[in-house]
Amino acid sequence: MESEHHSDEYTQADLGGWEPDEALGAAGSYPFTRGPYPSMYTGRLWTMRQYAGFGDAAATNERFRSLLDAGQTGLSVAFDLPTQMGLDSDAPLAAGEVGKVGVAIDTVDDMRVLFDRIDLGTVSTSMTINATAAILLLMYQIVAEENGVKAKDLRGTIQNDVLKEYIARGTYIYPAAPSLRLITDIFAYCAAEIPNWNTISISGYHIREAGSTTAQEVAFTIANGLAYVDAAVAAEIAVDDFAPRLSFFWNAHNGLFEEAAKYRAARRLWARLMRERVGATSESSWKMRFHTQTAGSSLTAQQPLNNVVRTAYQALAAVLGGTQSLHTNSFDEALGLPTNESAMLALRTQQVLAYETGVADVVDPLAGSYYVESLTDRIEDEAMALIERIDELGGAVAAIEEGFQQREIEAAAYAYARSVDASDTVVVGVNRFTEEEDQQSDVMRIDPELERRQIDALVERRAKRSNAAVVTALDDLTEAANTSDNLLYPMKAALLAGATIGEVSEALVPVFGRYRPAG
């Protein structure tokens, strides 16, 4: 998108010669307070990446193609809980959860259906997956290569941020140390095989959804990021070889200016830490690039149409703060999975913001605002104080094991809940401006027969494969876990032999063990 304005004209002509002070700098220059790229949206809009996934692969594929046809510019995959936790759809613990909060993926066959008639050489795909990130990435690579797309041409992101699972979500499998080993194996594998892939999306989103404050979201996320960097360096991977492919994932909550300032503060803090603390020398290693999603926890079941307005303002905050890609929640998500109509309205919200409001016509339009700059400074200072406290505890992993981040979030969530209960914090339609009868909205429901069909297909696939070849491949994977070998290569061999996500995950348990939270 070309604009009438450019960053130099904006500071000089539009503001009568005002220049940002030296500490603030310009977009595209260290410490990147104003954005990672000089032209920001005047050169290219953010990626509109709507998160979708439900039921089986065929149903989700249909939603993907509908969104792409409507102008979405990237895919974002939601997986069901069994897939996230390394369970096959017929596992006892998966009962009742198959296809409920995302798409069910058991084998490479499911991945083939999920991306049927979608050109993986041109689309950018984000996958919200953590404990089983390596497996899903390899499935994606296998399907792409079967369709003639070279691994070096694949673009996208895996979330792959297991530390925040111990803090805020719970979809972990293994203890922290072997989980970090898998993450660094992914860094090394992608550097060699899938060089344009973003190997991790270090997530503050779920930390905020669990009830953290703005500063806690920034601090705990960046502390996790530093732990991943330290683990990779300890594995003898040069920081400037992997750091440029790191990305972040932030929440866009209700405070318009505070949220915009949060992204600016996080960029500046990460740049300074990567250069001054870690010692990265490449400018690309200092840049924080990130995806943003509007706040699911802010959506209300009461008067659900109000969520359209909430989401629009949250999206505005993300764009004012310089996000690289954005998902806008659907208004009915407090009631159930988004319908096709509500998902389309969420996408249109981004398109109106991009093409009708003029917000993308200038670089960092809030720069120089006393209020925004003071908020940016405050959030950075508060976040840095929390990072220093985590350092005193021995780093992010040690602090998680001690329960520091969890306690801090619980206290913040409790304080917010009390504030809402007392109506000190207003939630429109919930504790003020309520109605006796709420607005009605159609709710999308998953076919109760889907789980049976998914299990039947899984049983049929197991019957058609060579079980001997699968057993051999899984034994090779277990054996590799006892060495320092990169685990993604034997994982890929097992998947090509027909192994399921549950079987590949389980093959590592004899060596890695399972994580059990204290208490």
| CATH number, position 331 | 3.20.20.240
Give the model's pLDDT for residue 87.
98
Burial 340-361 (b: 16+ CB within 10 A, else e): eebbbbbbebbeebbeeeeebb
Region 292-321 average pLDDT: 97
**479-496: per-residue pLDDT in tens?**
999 999 999 999 999 999
Give the model's pLDDT for residue 441.
65
Is residue 25 predicted with pLDDT exceeding 90? Answer: no
**H-run or E-run covering 124:** strand 124-128
Nearest to 363 by CA among 20, 17, 27, 13: 27
Is residue 195 included in any domain, yes or no?
yes
Is residue 448 included in any domain, yes or no?
no
CB 1 within 8 A of CB 48: no
Report the greatest alpha carbon distance in the chain. 75
Is residue 114 included in any domain, yes or no?
yes
Is residue 304 predicted with pLDDT exceeding 80? Answer: yes
Is residue 104 predicted with pLDDT exceeding 90? Answer: yes
Taking the C-alpha atoms of residue 152 and residue 145, their distance in angstroms, rounded to an integer, is: 10
SS3 content of the chain, % helix, strand, coil (to 5): 55, 10, 40
Give the model's pLDDT for residue 50.
81
Is residue 344 predicted with pLDDT exceeding 90? Answer: yes
Picking from 48-52, 421-425, 452-456, which range would have the lowest pLDDT averaged per residue?
A: 48-52
464 token code pair: 């058609």
493 token code pair: 């061999």
Burial 30-59 (b: 16+ CB within 10 A, else e): ebbbbbbbbebbbeebbbbbbbbbbbbbeb
CB 318 within 8 A of CB 359: no
Residue 74 binned pLDDT confidence (cut-offs 50, 70, 90): confident
What pTM did the predictor assign? Answer: 0.91
Taking the C-alpha atoms of residue 405 and residue 390, their distance in angstroms, rounded to an integer, is: 9
255 token code pair: 């405070």
Region 452-461 average pLDDT: 96
Is residue 299 included in any domain, yes or no?
yes
**How much of the chain, in percent, has pLDDT values that exceed 70?**
95
Taking the C-alpha atoms of residue 185 and residue 166, their distance in angstroms, rounded to an integer, is: 20
How many domains is the chain built from? Answer: 1
Is residue 436 included in any domain, yes or no?
no
**271-282: per-residue pLDDT in tens?**
999 999 999 999
DSSP string, 58-122: HHHHHHHHHHHHTT--EEEEEB-HHHHTT--TTSGGGTTTTTSSSB---SHHHHHHHTTT--TTT
First to last CA, the chain: 53
Pick the residue with more confidence: 290 or 12?
A: 290
Taking the C-alpha atoms of residue 386 and residue 384, their distance in angstroms, rounded to an integer, is: 5
Is residue 227 predicted with pLDDT exceeding 60? Answer: yes
CA distances (Å), 235 to each of 171, 184, 282, 285, 329, in order?
25, 7, 19, 18, 38
Instruction: Provide the residue range defining the domain that includes 253.
Output: 7-421
Give the model's pLDDT for residue 23.
60
CB 475 within 8 A of CB 134: no
Is residue 129 predicted with pLDDT exceeding 80? Answer: yes
26 token code pair: 């310009």
Residue 447 binned pLDDT confidence (cut-offs 50, 70, 90): confident
Is residue 506 included in any domain, yes or no?
no
DSSP string, 37-72: SSSGGGTSPPEEEEEE--SSHHHHHHHHHHHHHTT-
Q: How does the average pLDDT of the chain come out, rounded?
A: 93
User: What residues pair up with 197 in beta bridges, in sequence order?
Assistant: 156
Region 427-456 average pLDDT: 85
Taking the C-alpha atoms of residue 103 and residue 241, their distance in angstroms, rounded to an integer, is: 33
CA distances (Å), 48 to each of 35, 142, 163, 344, 467, in order?
18, 26, 27, 12, 42
CB 316 within 8 A of CB 256: yes
Is residue 113 included in any domain, yes or no?
yes
Is residue 268 included in any domain, yes or no?
yes
Picking from 244-248, 289-293, 438-442, which range would have the lowest pLDDT averaged per residue?
A: 438-442
